[in-house]
Structure 1
Amino acid sequence: MIMKNIFKYLSIGLIGGVLFTGCETTNLDLTENPNALTPSQADVDFYLNEVQVKFARVVESLGETGAEVTRIEWMGSRNYQNAYSPAGFDGNWEDAYQEVIKNARDLTPLAEEAGLTHHIAIAQFIEAYTITLLVDYFGDVPYSEAIGGADNLNPSTDSGADIYTAALALTNAAIANFNSTALADPDIDFYYDGDWDAWVKAANTLKLRLHLNLGQTGAFNSIISSGNFISSTDDDFQFQWGSNQVQPDTRHPNYAQNYTVTGGGDYASIWMMNLMDTTDDPRIRYYYYRQNDGTPNALDINGVYVPPNEETLDCSLQSTPPPQYAAGGFPFCSLDNGYWGRNHGNDAGIPPDGLLRTAVGVYPQAGQFDDNSFGETSLGTGGGGAGITPMLLASWVDFWRAELAMNSSPAAGKPFILAGIAKSIAKVQTFASLDATADLSFEPSASDVSDFIDFIDSEFDAADNEGKWNIMAEQFFIALKGNGHDAYNFYRRKGYPTDLEPNLEQNPGAFIRSFFYPANAANTNSNLNQKSGVTDQVFWDTNPASPTFPVAN
């Protein structure tokens, strides 16, 4: 259903690349770009195509950031204050405001005139998702004055609470438009291919996320009672990438960075790989592809010790781990069985290990399935990058429901946790077929899956209340592979897991409660004052201040 839209996208990609990329400014001065269509010239479908694709890139990029600070992915800074430069968010900010929100606003009057209510609904939903994403990462941001163009070059910020209120109203408006009869439907719907009932479920699921952050249990439960939300993986809200390498490059961005002639471009998280390996998590062969069967200063897959190697893994020569690692029993530098990654905060230089380190797997990036072949990754191998960016999944909803149940009684969350794990595993296993050359005899069996779920079941029962929350959080984070936005939100809401791997720096500073504003926006907008640090809490984060919360740095 969705893949055919990728081929449509290839046909419009060159047009879209000319018409909608490039901007005169990188703040919120949204004057007309001479290289882009103006509203009076534009085609509604072209606008909507650009909104859908740029939205996916914003979610993918910020979701990676959320995954890094919560150890789903590797964060390469020993100091939270300096981990993410303001300039690093310039592209996200520009895409969110200029390519997503402004284009969504510009297409609306054209669509209204033509009776294209489903076009409007998609734009409204995406705008609501996008602006609340910005609130969750940056706090108060421009919104009501943001798209003023030359009439307002210095838009003021709106409170995060007001933006959430506006986003909920916008989502309700989107639902009404999805339920309407449009005079014509979008040429390309990258997400549901014209299934408007599925779009309504996605809109209600976005509202579940917002109500959860707001602590609005009644409103959350009302949607659950309606049954009209994403409860089946068949209705998961996600963006499907393609495998085309150039003009345009439609591959999953993480695949493009890691399947190159020089090997991997990212490091995998030691915390996540160790958690999955030591619990026999059946998803591990889908999440990670090992290019090597052993890591220096650890045991290979046959139990044979691999000696340290100064050139490829200099920390393997370190005789004792940092004291905070030794005290907590955290694995340092090297893992057994060939899982080659980096610890949280490891900012060492990059050695010649691109064809040795563990690479992204077949889920969700459409890399290679790990079948113990231990070959080098290369351009086009595995699924060729035709993976997904998950945005709202049925498994995530189960964990949201577990959280609410556990707020009253930690034991009450177990059925939701187990349901979320089962949905996550079943979804992930469907991705193995993307790697046509893989030996799928290495896939976990049905008994492997049931044994793992039974293990989590018994571990949860045996744990005290803090341990139950830790198990729930760990399994939630694993299910969030591919988009760490909800992990970042959850960690600030609840502070679990309390046993996350610490930063390599003993005193890394306070955990990031919100990120610096993008440099271009702060430098050019007189009404947007740059933060002095990363401890400013977003409006719904009412927990104690950092560094005492969250507990793990």
Structure 2
Amino acid sequence: MKNKLFYIPLTLIIFMVGSCTFFDLELTKDPNELAPENANPDYVLNQMQIDFKDFLNNPDPSNWNGVNKFGMEATRMINVWGGTYENAYTPTEFDAVWTLAYEGLLMDAHTFIPVYEANEWYLHSGIAKVLQAYVLATLVDFFGDVPFAESFDASNLNPVADNQSTIYNLAITYLDEAIADLQKESKAVPSNDLFYNGDASKWITLANTLKLKLYLNLRLIDKTNSTNQINALIALNNFIDEPDEEFLFRYSTTEVNPDSRNPHFIYNYLNGANDYMSNYFMWTLYGEKNNIDPRIRYYFYRQTLTSSTNFQELPCYGTTAPNHYSPEMPYCTLSDGYWGRDHLDDDGIPPDTRRRTLYGIYPAGGNFDNNNGISGNSGDGLQGAGIEVIMTQSFVKFMLAEASLTLGTTGDTKTWLMEAVQNSIETVMDFGSAQADPLYIPTNAMITAYLDEVSTLYDNATNEQERLEVITKEYYIALFGNGVEAYNLVRRTTFPSNLQPALLEAAGNFCRSFIYPAICVNLNSSIHQKTTFATQVFWDTNAAGIIQ
């Protein structure tokens, strides 16, 4: 890893932190913790970046609950237990992301952005505003109305939730402010920028790309404004379109002080698998098309090459699929050792930790699947030196394809689509090139066959909705590892239309938004817990119940 990770114990306020957490007003400062006036502003930015990464993918083995995990579960990239949606999640599961946002990054940004601006550390302030905007928008995407305006007033222990659209607009404003700051001459450069090594131009490119993402989400409620704003961004021509501009967090092989390996690797390669891959998502790459997806050996590593016929290992073996499953829907297991679980399967855990399919080399830093069929361990593959995939050039092209189709924005829809798919394949293969076995690297003919099939699917679509589903399915596949964008994509488009249903036909409401964290509703009398997962965020105007 090219950088050291600084964990600075910053207690930036005494009384109220975040939006729903408060501390005893009679307590004095812990002398072992830093007050704002004593904290190094440069190190604070480093801590904001660490909190941001943990907000996405929390490495704490006792509470592995970043927003990417929740989004991947909802969209069937990985399995989620529970039987029903209401049983799948408890409020405490969301405490970690809430705390990292409010007690961590947002509080640090609120406290130190004025410090950066006063000292003309514009690169620091610009970076902080980009991260602040991303987190605010994501909180809305996942929870709906959330507090912000009153969140940092130490005299107010019960800040009210702000209107979602107000916060979204504020996030866009912060991105514009960030761009303005990043264009100024800065008197300081971050000593340890974990993403772009202090390159202001790349942070500007990211800010423009995030504006594209937000305006695309808003297309359902304000088509005209989204069209105009996205066209203006296209004319500006400053999106992520090069590998070194991609917004990634790069993990390392460091095991202690701190453990800097990809959490997916830590959670699944050290002592056997903890996660189950989704049977549906593996089938999407392995069996849905005529051609196997070229990325499959990079996404997944099989610990066995055969599917079990042992009821003790695979409790669903020999049983029939539920009546509400369509004939083509995968059930129980796939062939050739692709060993996962069905959506919301809440059966007990059999002795299969050394049999389940694992995360592969991309993005977790695990093994390339070279047909060995042996158990994964801590010394395998990239040994955890994976990446957190936040925004890539292929994601941009998929978004532009969707915008072109649904809004009529500048550019040819199919060209954007095909470039996006090819770019995704190239990115994944390049990441795994050092470990990929030449015998199993997809050939040019295999890649061309896959691309030709996608092209044919698009050409054969007879209306906009069918074409949108082709774009959505390919974007969905490319998003492996990024639950934030997958969750938004599925709600924004209502596709893929063939998402695997829960095993129980009466599984309750799909999570159109998530329930509030316990740390919020238990400590803030202004916010009341939701009574249903069916509550839609403000930009999601699609029909109720359309996603199962």
Does residue 1:236 correspond to 2:246, yes or no? yes
Report how far residue 23 of structure 1 moved. Answer: 9.6
Contact 1:28 1:155 survives alignment (8 Å): no
- Assess, with a 3 A threshold, how the Cα gap between structure 1 residues 251 and 379 changes in structure 2: closer, same or farther: same
- Assess, with a 3 A threshold, how the Cα gap between structure 1 residues 33 and 4 changes in structure 2: closer, same or farther: farther
Contact 1:28 1:521 survives alignment (8 Å): yes
Report how far residue 414 of structure 1 moved. Answer: 2.1
Give distance in 2, aligned partners of 1:20 and 1:431.
Answer: 38
- What's the CA shift string for 1:256-289, capped at 9, x where partnerless? 100113x111011111111111231100000000
Choose the corresponding residue for 1:53, options 50, 55, 59.
Answer: 50
Report how far residue 20 of structure 1 moved. Answer: 6.5
Q: Residues 388-407 of structure 1 correspond to what in structure 2 (within 5 A)?
A: 388-407=387-406
TM-score, with structure 2 as normaliser? 0.91
Stretch deviating more after TM superposition (496-505 or 225-234) = 225-234
Give distance in 1, aligned partners of 2:457 and 2:210.
Answer: 31
Task: Name the SS of the counterpart of 2:38 in structure 1.
Answer: coil
Report how far residue 535 of structure 1 moved. Answer: 1.2
Higher helix share: 1
Q: Unpaired runs of 5+ in structure 2? A: 58-65, 220-225
Give distance in 2, aligned partners of 1:373 and 1:506.
Answer: 38
Contact 1:343 1:504 survives alignment (8 Å): yes
- Assess, with a 3 A threshold, how the Cα gap between structure 1 residues 409 and 333 changes in structure 2: closer, same or farther: farther
2:299 match:
287
Does residue 1:333 correspond to 2:332, yes or no? yes
Query: Percent identity between the aligned chains?
Result: 37
Task: Name the SS of the counterpart of 2:317 in structure 1.
Answer: helix
Contact 1:366 1:431 survives alignment (8 Å): no
Counterpart code for 2:240: I
Report how far residue 77 of structure 1 moved. Answer: 2.5
Report how far residue 200 of structure 1 moved. Answer: 0.4
Report how far residue 434 of structure 1 moved. Answer: 5.2
Give distance in 1, aligned partners of 2:480 and 2:204.
Answer: 24
Choose the corresponding residue for 2:284, options 275, 291, 299.
Answer: 275
- What's the CA shift string for 1:194-232, capped at 9, x where partnerless? 221111010001111111111211101110111011123
Task: Name the SS of the counterpart of 2:187 in structure 1.
Answer: coil
Stretch deviating more after TM superposition (47-56 or 438-447) = 438-447
Give distance in 2, aligned partners of 1:461 and 1:112.
Answer: 52
Counterpart code for 2:120: G
Report how far residue 412 of structure 1 moved. Answer: 5.9
Contact 1:477 1:484 survives alignment (8 Å): no
Give distance in 2, aligned partners of 1:336 and 1:459.
Answer: 25
TM-score, with structure 1 as normaliser? 0.91
1:114 match:
119
Report how far residue 369 of structure 1 moved. Answer: 0.5
Report how far residue 131 of structure 1 moved. Answer: 0.6
Give distance in 2, aligned partners of 1:506 and 1:271.
Answer: 16
Contact 2:262 2:387 survives alignment (8 Å): yes
2:22 match:
29
Stretch deviating more after TM superposition (106-115 or 531-540) = 106-115
Does residue 1:144 correspond to 2:149, yes or no? yes
Stretch deviating more after TM superposition (506-515 or 19-28) = 19-28
Choose the corresponding residue for 2:173, options 164, 169, 177.
Answer: 169
Q: Residues 2-401 of structure 1 correspond to what in structure 2 (within 5 A)?
A: 3-5=1-3, 8-9=4-5, 12-13=6-7, 16=8, 18-19=9-10, 27-29=20-22, 34=30, 35-60=32-57, 61-148=66-153, 150-215=154-219, 216-261=226-271, 263-278=272-287, 279-296=291-308, 308-318=309-319, 320-325=320-325, 327-401=326-400
Report how far residue 36 of structure 1 moved. Answer: 3.0
Report how far residue 441 of structure 1 moved. Answer: 2.9
Give distance in 2, aligned partners of 1:89 and 1:349.
Answer: 23
Q: Residues 465-504 of structure 1 correspond to what in structure 2 (within 5 A)?
A: 465=463, 466-504=465-503
- What's the CA shift string for 1:471-499, capped at 9, x where partnerless? 22211111111112122112212211111
Report how far residue 413 of structure 1 moved. Answer: 3.0
Stretch deviating more after TM superposition (127-136 or 18-27) = 18-27
1:302 match:
none
Report how far residue 370 of structure 1 moved. Answer: 0.5
Task: Name the SS of the counterpart of 1:4 in structure 2.
Answer: coil
Counterpart code for 2:92: A
Report how far residue 469 of structure 1 moved. Answer: 2.8
Give distance in 2, aligned partners of 1:176 and 1:461.
Answer: 42
- Assess, with a 3 A threshold, how the Cα gap between structure 1 residues 340 and 239 changes in structure 2: closer, same or farther: same
1:464 match:
462
Report how far residue 164 of structure 1 moved. Answer: 0.9
The number of residue pairs the alignment matches comes to 523
Contact 1:267 1:358 survives alignment (8 Å): yes
Task: Name the SS of the counterpart of 2:340 in structure 1.
Answer: coil
Contact 1:514 1:537 survives alignment (8 Å): yes
1:303 match:
none
Give distance in 2, aligned partners of 1:270 and 1:21.
Answer: 45
Contact 1:366 1:434 survives alignment (8 Å): no
Report how far residue 21 of structure 1 moved. Answer: 11
- Assess, with a 3 A threshold, how the Cα gap between structure 1 residues 464 and 338 changes in structure 2: closer, same or farther: farther
